[in-house]
Chain A
C-alpha cells in the first residue's frame, strides 16, 4: 500500500503546488452562477415547500462543482502525465492497477470535496439551506466524486491529446451536469424531459445530495443511492479493466 500512498500523495502535492487558485477559481465561477441565477429567479415560487430558489440552487451548484472538479482532476492529471510522458515513472514502479485507480480517484474525490466545501461556505452569504440529513449529503458527495473521478480516469486513459480530453468534457460531462437538475427540479420539466432526465445518472447524484439538505427530493433517495452506486460499480469496473489490460498505457 506504500506505493498507493505515494501516488495519492503525489496527486495531492500536485494540487497543493498548484496554489490557492486551484480552489478559488472554481469557487469564484460557481458564485457567479449563484449571483446571476438567484438574482434572476429568486422571485419565482418556492421550489419545495418553504424552500426559496437561491437556497434550492446551492446544493445543486455545490454538487455540480464537486462532479466537475473530480472529473477534471483525474482526467487532466492522468492524460497530461500520459501525453507528456512522465507517467512512465509510475508505470515503471511496482504499483498494482487497482492502487493506481484508487490513488487517482481518491485524489479526485478529495479535491472535489475541498472545492465543493469552499463553494458551500461562500454560498452561505446568499442563503442558508438547512442540513436535514448530513449523512446523505456526505454519502452522495463521496459517491458523486468517486463516480466522476472514475470517469476522469477512463477519459484520461482514452484521450490521446488535450483536444480529445476537452471534447469529452464538452460533449459528455458538461451537458450531463447541466441537464441533471442542478438548476431546477425535474418536476418543472415537461413529462418527456422528465423521463429523459431519469436516464442521466448525474440527476440521481444531485437529487440525492439535495435530499440531504431539504429532506425532500424529486425521487426516493434510496433509488438515487442504488443508481449512483450501481453506476459507480460499473464505471470503476470498466476503468479497472482498462488499467489491468494496460490499454493505451502499456503499449
Chain B
C-alpha cells in the first residue's frame, strides 16, 4: 500500500539555519501520527515542504505516491493543511470563505459537505458572519473547516488547538477522530503532549531539523519504563536511597525506580531507618518525560 506521506532525504536551509536536516519519514495510510518538537525544531518547515508552501533544497516528498512538486495538482488535492497561524480573509463571511476554498480545489457543488463540516465544528450559526467578527476560537474552527472542505485523505494539523478553549478542543478532536476512523490519515503537531499521547498511534520527535525518535507511542512510553515515587518525609532520606533521587526540594523527594518491584525495598529501608512517610504518590511515565529526555539529549 502506498504511504500517505513519504519524505526522503529532505533538506531545507534558511541562511545558516538548517531547518530540515536529512529527514526520512514514512506515514502509512490511516495513521494518527504525531510530529513533536520544541519551537524551531523544523515541524512547520517540514509541513510547508509537504504542502508546497516552501521549496526544498533537496529531497523527495510525496502524498499517496504523488510527488508534491512534479504532481502538485494531485498531491495538493490529497492534502488538507490547517496552518499554525490564525489567518483569515476579512473580506468574506464563513460560508463565502468555505465556498471559495472549495472552488480553489475545483469543487463547484459542495454545499452539502460545507454544511456538514460547519455542523461538526459548531459553525452553522456563524455561517453568514464576517470572519473579522469571529472570536479566535471560531476563526480556528474555520481554519480546520477550510482544510477539510475538499475531503482530503491526508490531513495535517499544525498546532490546531493552540490558544483554544477546552470545549472547542474536545469538539475538534471528536470530529478529527471520526475522520481518522473513516480512513483519513492525520498528521498532528501540538505542544499539548497529553493530546499527542492520547491521540497518536506513532510519534516522531524532531530537534534542530532532525528526527531524534520515531516509534509507536506505546514503545516510546515503554522506553522509559519505571516508576517514579514522590515522597514527603519527616527526616532525611537514608544514604542507600540517595542514588535514586531524581529531584529534591527540602523534605520532598522524587525517586526513580526501575519497576514496581523496587518499591518494597525502598519502603523497607525507610522503615529500618525510622523515617516517617508524611505523603507518598506514584507517578507514571508520560510523553512529556520521553519528550524531555529525547529533545534534551545532545545531538
Contact = CB atoms under 8 A, between A and B. Distances in A.
Interface of A: 2-3, 5-7, 9-10, 13-14, 17-18, 81, 84-86, 88-96, 246, 250-251
Given A2-B103, A13-B96, A92 B88 contact: no
Interface residues of B, number: 32
Nearest to B88: A86
Contacts of A251: 14, 48, 53-55
Given A92-B76, A250-B52, A3 B85 contact: no
B103 A86 contact: no
Contact of A17 (B55, B92, B108): B92
Interface string B69-109: 00011101101010101011101100010001111111110
B87 A3 contact: no
Nearest to B93: A17
Q: In the A-B complex, list the 9 residue pairs whose CB atoms are closest, starting with the nearest.
A: A6-B103, A93-B104, A85-B87, A94-B73, A2-B106, A94-B76, A86-B89, A14-B91, A86-B87
B51 interface: yes
A90 B76 CA distance: 11
Nearest to A2: B106
Contacts of B189: none
A14 B101 CA distance: 14
Nearest to A9: B103
B190 interface: no
Contacts of A246: 55
Most buried by A among B77, B83, B100: B100
A9 B83 CA distance: 24
B217 interface: no
Interface string B13-30: 010000000000000000
Contact of B91 (A3, A17, A91): A17
B146 interface: yes
21 contacts: A2-B106, A6-B103, A13-B92, A13-B96, A85-B83, A88-B83, A88-B85, A89-B89, A89-B146, A91-B52, A92-B51, A92-B52, A92-B76, A92-B79, A94-B72, A94-B73, A94-B76, A94-B77, A94-B104, A250-B53, A251-B14
A10 B96 CA distance: 9
Nearest to A77: B91
A251 B47 CA distance: 12
A84 B85 CA distance: 10
Nearest to B81: A92
Given A14-B91, A17-B91, A85-B87, A90 B53 contact: no
Contacts of B105: 3, 93-94
Contacts of B53: 88, 91-92, 250-251
Given A81-B89, A86-B89, A251-B54, A6 B72 contact: no
Contacts of A10: 92, 100, 103
Contact of A7 (B51, B91, B104): B104
A85 B104 contact: no
B292 to A, nearest CB: 31
Given A86-B89, A92-B52, A94-B73, 5 more contacts: A9-B100, A13-B91, A18-B91, A86-B87, A93-B101
B29 to A, nearest CB: 21
Contacts of B100: 6, 9-10, 13, 89
A107 B51 CA distance: 27
B87 A88 contact: yes
A75 B104 CA distance: 20
Nearest to A85: B87
Contact of A89 (B73, B91, B104, B106): B104
Contacts of A94: 72-74, 76-77, 104-106
